[in-house]
Amino acid sequence: MPEDHTVKIDGKRWLLRFTRLTGDAAGWTYFDNAKRPRILIDERLRGGTRLETILHELAHAVLGPTISEESITELARVQRRVLTALGYKEVHDESGR
Ligand SMILES: [Zn+2]
C-alpha cells in the first residue's frame, strides 16, 4: 500500500509517494504540468539507499529537468555521506510510521 506525503517545492504541492516500483529504478520524478507533479520512491529501500534516493529525487524536483543526472547523483551522494558521518539516522516511531 503506497505511503503518500505532500512536499511544497517553490510554492507548488508535490506528491511524494513510497510504493513498489517495477524495473531497475529506485525512484522517479515527474514534472508534468497536467497532473500534480510527483516523486515515486521504491518502498523496499532501506537505510542509506533510501536516504540517498529521497535526496536524489528531491534534487531533481527542486533544481529542475535541465540539471545533469551526474550532478544530481553527486549531490545526493555527498549529502548522504555527510549526514551519515554527522550521525543522522532513520528513526521509526512506535506506530510503525
Ligand atoms: Zn536521477
**Does residue 90 sit within a domain?**
no
Instruction: Give residue 60 CA to ligand 1 midpoint distance, Å.
Output: 7
Question: β-pairing, 12-19 with 38-42?
Answer: parallel
Q: Is residue 27 domain-resident?
A: yes
What are the residues facing 9 on neighbouring strands? 12
Q: What is the DSSP letter of 22?
A: P
| Full residue range of the structural domain in which residue 71 is found | 3-85
Residue 95 has pLDDT above 70, yes or no: no
Q: How far is the CA of 56 from the centre of ligand 1 (A)?
A: 6
Residue 73 lies in a domain: yes
Q: What is the pLDDT of residues 30-89, one digit of tens each?
A: 987 667 899 999 999 999 999 999 999 999 999 999 999 999 999 999 999 999 999 999
pLDDT classification of 91: cutoffs 50, 70, 90: confident
Mean pLDDT of 11-31: 94
For the cut 60, the answer to whether the pLDDT of residue 97 exceeds it is no
Q: Is 44 part of a structural domain of the chain?
A: yes
Could you tell me the sign of the dihedral formed by the alpha carbons of 48, 54, 58, 59, in that order?
positive
On whether residue 96 sits in a domain, the answer given is: no
pTM: 0.90
70 found inside a domain: yes
- pLDDT at residue 90, rounded to an integer: 87
Q: Say how many Å lie between the CA of residue 95 and the centre of ligand 1.
A: 32
Q: How far is the CA of 96 from the centre of ligand 1 (A)?
A: 29
Specify the pLDDT at position 1: 83
Query: Structural domain tally of the chain?
Result: 1
Residue 92 lies in a domain: no
What is the CB-side half-sphere exposure of residue 36 using CA atoms within 13 A?
16
pLDDT score recorded for residue 19? 97
Please indicate, yes or no, if residue 20 is contained in any of the structural domains.
Answer: yes
94 Cα to the center of ligand 1, angstroms: 32
